[in-house]
Structure 1
Amino acid sequence: MANTHIETELAEGSPSLMQRVIALRERYLTDRQFTLILSFLVGLFAAVAAFILHWLIEEIQLLLTEGFDTETFNWMYLVYPVIGIYLTSLFVRHIVKDEISHGITRILYAISSKRSRLKGHNCWSSVIASAITIGFGGSVGAEAPIVLTGSAIGSNLGQLFKMDNKTLMLLVGCGAAAAIAGIFKAPIAGLVFTLEVLMIDLTMASLLPILISSVTATCFTYIFTGSDSLFTFTLDNPWPVERIPANILLGVFGGFVSLYFIRTMTACESVFGRLKQKPIAKLLLGALILSPLIFLFPSLYGEGYGSINILLSGKTEADWDTILHNSPFYGHSNMLVPYIGMVLLTKVFATSATNGGGGCGGTFAPSLFIGAFAGFFFARIWNIYNIGVFLPEKNFALLGMAAVMAGVMHAPLTGIFLIAEITGGYQMFIPLMIVSICSYLTIIIFEPHSIYGMRLARQGKLITHHTDRAVLTLMSLDSVIDKNYTAVSPDMPLASLVHAISKSHNNILPVLDNAGNLLGEIDITKLRHIVFRIELYHHFTVRQLMSQPEATLNVNTKMEDVMRQFDRTDASMLPVLDKDNHLLGYISRTHMYSVYRKIVADLSED
């Protein structure tokens, strides 16, 4: 039947090349088989995008900083980041002409509100914008832009081949997983990131495509860049049981650092948000914050992966002192701990100023950066004051990365597997689990949602693994409103009302005044005792017979609240009003539950 339908459609006119491809695909491949092919392509393209972005960043940074003297500070640190932010803002404003910041939040929003449809420009715009921002020294990460790029590639490939909404959601997850796997050469981390952060349910139907995308991206990244890990780490001091108390305390400390990061980031965003219509003012404010910080603490320049590597690979004080290069603190080894502490506190301001001023970047790399500095700072203070057993600082820098990532993203599994994979620190699995779990348990006391989900959670648009809430989030009020109703006026006699009832397809007739305001409603089931008595037709009017609705809804009512109102009132239909009390239509309990069951069935299919 499907093939006959396709052939009929193609016979009606001259089909395009894309139509022919889709027709052939539907004839010879099942949807599941084709989804696996698309997941491979998503992994390939995401790996290419990640390679291009990091190559652009490295080339720009090399061009700008090649001649810098490491033994003194450089005045250009005051200028480069501001130039980068300004160029990025011009690119976004005049070429992209769309909002591209908060990449992972935009993916979550697309999944919950736009049926997993991301715009075509997201396949390239974030790569260019973040390359300019980070290459010129913006203190943000490239991961969120690449995750948005990978997800956009998956979404647009799915749209190109007319895949259904569930497959689009899966391809968006494949793109995100491929991006993480490609950037870090960490396929397992890519998988668990998609499950924990994007809330894609793990079923047999979703597991294989996501794994294919992750492994494909990882393999092509190895081909493009070789076998070296992103960070250099060698375990010199194996983990003993005696360090468990220190691991627990580091996890708690990481949870509070994550809380500081999220709360400060949110506060800074609200300040820059007030200047939304004033791009020059945003740029100046961002420059006033960012330039002095990078001048004083050059570790804040760019993604900061060079500084992380110093903390992870250093073995002597001389090695760790190299983190002071290019700063006014150069040559003052006694200032290492204060320097580490100040960088830990100011990184969030540098990141907020970069994005708030008009740059483009994510919080993924900053959370790794802060985590490494927090872990090193914790271990150094512990050792200085001889609190307990000796703590190897570079090991705790590694553990700090997992702790802060788990807290900021509310993703302990991502923190565990990503840090293990990108550093080769598999022998640290037990302490990685301890610090990640403790960090997560600490932060959920204060923040129930991740830094990516909290914005959408406030709007009631966040998809979670809670099936009922996920389904209600995916449902839109507009999709269940019945706007085909028969309205009556309050002064209409019963005879005319009976005529209106004969034309209505609902049991409820709204009573409206001349301005369209809802005055009440006529419930046909309550009028059976008089509608057939012709002698009463001229003795009653609608005003005498109408009743007030059990409850009213408005255009901004969340679907979870709509369901709650139906459960509370046991009504069959409820009216939906706009902000001026004008009737928009009715929601039927029967229709709403029908849509609900359909979405549940779609989400539950394997």
Structure 2
Amino acid sequence: MKVSGSLGDMSRLANWRKNHVSDRQLVLVLAFAIGLLASLAAYILHFIIKLIEELVTSGFDVATINWLYLIYPIVGIWLTSLFVKYVVRDNISHGITRVLYAISTKQSRLKAHNTWSSIVASAITIGFGGSVGAEAPIVLTGSAIGSNLGRIFNLDNRTLMLLVGCGATAAVSGIFKAPIAGLVFTLEVLMVDLTMASLLPILIASVTATCFSYFFTGGSSMFHFQMDNIWGLDRVPPTILLGIACGFVSLYFMRLMSWCENGYGKLSSKPYLKLLVGGLVLSPLIFLFPSLYGEGYDSLRLFIEGKTEADWMQIMSGSMFAEKSNFLLLYVGLVVMTKVFATSATNGAGGCGGTFAPSLFIGGFGGFFFARFWNMEQLGVYIPEKNFTLYGMAAVMSAVMHAPLTGIFLIAELTGGYQLFIPLIIVTISSYLTINI
């Protein structure tokens, strides 16, 4: 009787909605709800990640080598695997890929557990040191929220696709406090058709998620960037060269990632062997290069906000390279080369995370490496390291995701550095053309 009563209540609610609320009005209301829920999901995910990181690393001495780096990543991946196998009982990795599949099939239907399962799984993976990003899980979460809200109100597949796009937009906007980047991401990556009817709901979801992110975490940008060196025409050549270099780095990242994933895929029938192989790759890398621990945004912050070599030296804290300034460039270069192995080992061994943050990470480290080497060798005009860190982030992310506009607007909104638009456009075009010619 209770079940039939609930069904009757839902039927009456649906009938009332059809008689009093048009589909267009409902979509606008749902877009607002999606923006709120997606920003809340992003806040919860990062809160759990920080909580786990503080719990497991609170006793670490940054001045010495920490042997627990050899253990924590394996524990996190193992716990994630158990959670997926016994609680979720479904494949939840590669969040953006699953969203693209749902859209391409014209169904736009994502399972109900996708509204929360990726949050838990990725929080465990990243909190314990998995070298992946939280963006793809949140994009899947936001898209699943949109899909399931639409299904509750029996909306058609075309409207479901729009709500999935609203969820993806809200997720990116909420994570980075970047409403324009969220909108452009949905158009470039998810390729949701933009019409006047769909523009307004996506904008509502985007700005709602951004506003609630400001409410949850404060009004500051993700990085406190200050423009110390105005970009000039004399820096066009190194900017183009950086874009070309980042294009090759992106190609290295994508091809090696694909090769590694295929290798781990062959071990899918042997989960414990896969965990062992991934752990033997990931843990030693994090032990040698602590910058590979987790998402890596704190490491990028040292390059973007630091002004002197003493600030940059903190990047090597907790490693065997600590306090050795002559090894800074070598350390940064090795991190760029090994990040792809750490990311693929995390996901391949059973962890949950995406490649959005790793592409930003590699780009930032690559940009710093380029600028530092250029200035040390006095190859020409001085180029500011922190500016080129941001250029590298935009260039590699644009090439890896095939989304140049997203890279441009994301970095501008992340830092408030809107004066960087011209060099950001130059470097992303150079990078994108490098991998497409």
Q: Displacement of 1:232 after TM fit?
A: 2.3
AA partner of residue 220 (structure 1): F
Would you identify which runs of 4 or more consecutive aligned residues in structure 1 move more than 3 Å?
none
Aligned counterpart for 1:426 among listed residues 418, 433, 437: 418
Matched residue SS, 1:115: coil
Q: Does structure 1 conserve the Cα–Cα contact (< 8 Å) formed by 2:168 and 2:182?
A: yes
The residue correspondences of 1:2-17 to structure 2 (distance < 5 A) are 16-17=8-9
Q: Deviation per CA, 1:357-404: give whole Å up to 9, x if none.
A: 000000011011001001001111111221111111110001100000
The higher-RCO structure (CA 8 Å, 6+ apart) is 2
2:106 and 2:157 in contact (8 A); partners too: no
Match of 1:195 in 2: 187
- Tell me if structure 1 keeps the 8 A contact 2:106–2:161: no
Asked if 1:266 corresponds to 2:258, the answer is: yes
Q: Greater helix share, 1 or 2?
A: 2
Q: For 1:238, what is the secondary structure of its paired residue? A: coil
Q: Distance in 2 between matches of 1:416 and 1:287?
A: 35
State the distance in 2 between where 1:374 and 1:248 align: 14
- Please point out which of 292, 301, 307 is paired with 1:309: 301
User: Is 2:347 the counterpart of 1:327?
Assistant: no
Q: Secondary structure at the match of 2:147?
A: helix
In 1, distance between residues paired with 2:412 and 2:178? Answer: 9
Uncovered stretches (5+) of structure 2, i.e. residues with no partner: none
Specify which of 366, 380, 383 is matched with residue 375 of structure 2: 383
CA distance in 2, matches of 1:323, 1:83: 25
Structure 1 residues without counterparts, runs of 5 or longer: 1-12, 446-606
User: In structure 2, the residue corresponding to 1:275 is in which secondary structure?
Assistant: coil
Q: What residue in structure 1 maps to residue 96 of structure 2?
A: 104
Equivalence for 1:527 = none
Paired with 1:76 and 1:124, the residues of 2 have a C-alpha distance of: 29
- 1:121 corresponds to 2:113: yes
Identity over aligned residues, as a percent? 68
The corresponding residue for 1:294 is: 286
- Output the CA distance in 1 between the equivalents of 2:222 and 2:238: 27
Match of 1:547 in 2: none
1:369 to 337, 352, 361: 361
Instruction: Pick from 121, 126, 131 the counterpart of residue 134 of structure 1.
Output: 126
Q: In the aligned structure 2, how far is the partner of 1:416 from the partner of 1:114?
A: 30
Q: Which residue of 2 aligns with 1:350?
A: 342
- Looking at structure 1, the residues matched to 414 and 402 of structure 2 have their Cα atoms a distance apart, in angstroms, of 19
Aligned-partner Cα distance in 1 for 2:54–2:226 = 27
Listed one character per residue, the Cα deviations across residues 501-554 of structure 1 (whole Å, up to 9, x for unaligned) are: xxxxxxxxxxxxxxxxxxxxxxxxxxxxxxxxxxxxxxxxxxxxxxxxxxxxxx
> Structure 2: how far apart are the matches of 1:233 and 1:357?
36
Q: In the alignment, which residue of structure 2 is the partner of 1:90?
A: 82
Q: Distance in 2 between matches of 1:290 and 1:224?
A: 33
- Partner of 2:358: helix, strand, or coil? helix
Larger radius of gyration: 1
* RMSD between superposed Cα atoms in Å: 1.0
| 2:54 corresponds to 1:54 | no
Query: 1:32, CA displacement in angstroms?
Result: 1.1
Corresponding position of 2:225: 233
| TM-score, normalised by the number of residues in structure 1 | 0.71
Number of corresponding residues? 433
Give the one of 404, 407, 415 matched to 1:415.
407
Q: Give 1:499-518 correspondences, 5 Å limit.
A: none
Q: CA deviation at 1:113?
A: 2.0
| Contact 2:398/2:432 (8 A) holds in 1 | yes
CA distances 1:44-82 after superposition (whole Å, capped 9, x unpaired): 100110000000000000111111111111000000010
- Alignment partner of 1:256 is 2:259: no
Q: Return the alpha-carbon distance in structure 2 between the equivalents of residues 219 and 245 of structure 1.
A: 39
Taking the aligned partners of 1:25 and 1:252, their CA distance within structure 2 comes to 54
Report the TM-score when normalising by structure 2: 0.98
Query: Aligned runs of 1:446-595 on 2, under 5 Å?
Result: none
Q: Which residue of 2 aligns with 1:158?
A: 150
Paired residue secondary structure (1:16): helix
Match of 2:60? 68
In structure 2, do the counterparts of structure 1 residues 39 and 77 end up closer, same or farther at CA, with 3 Å as the change threshold?
same
* 2:133 and 2:357 in contact (8 A); partners too: yes
Tell me by how many angstroms 1:234 deviates. 1.1
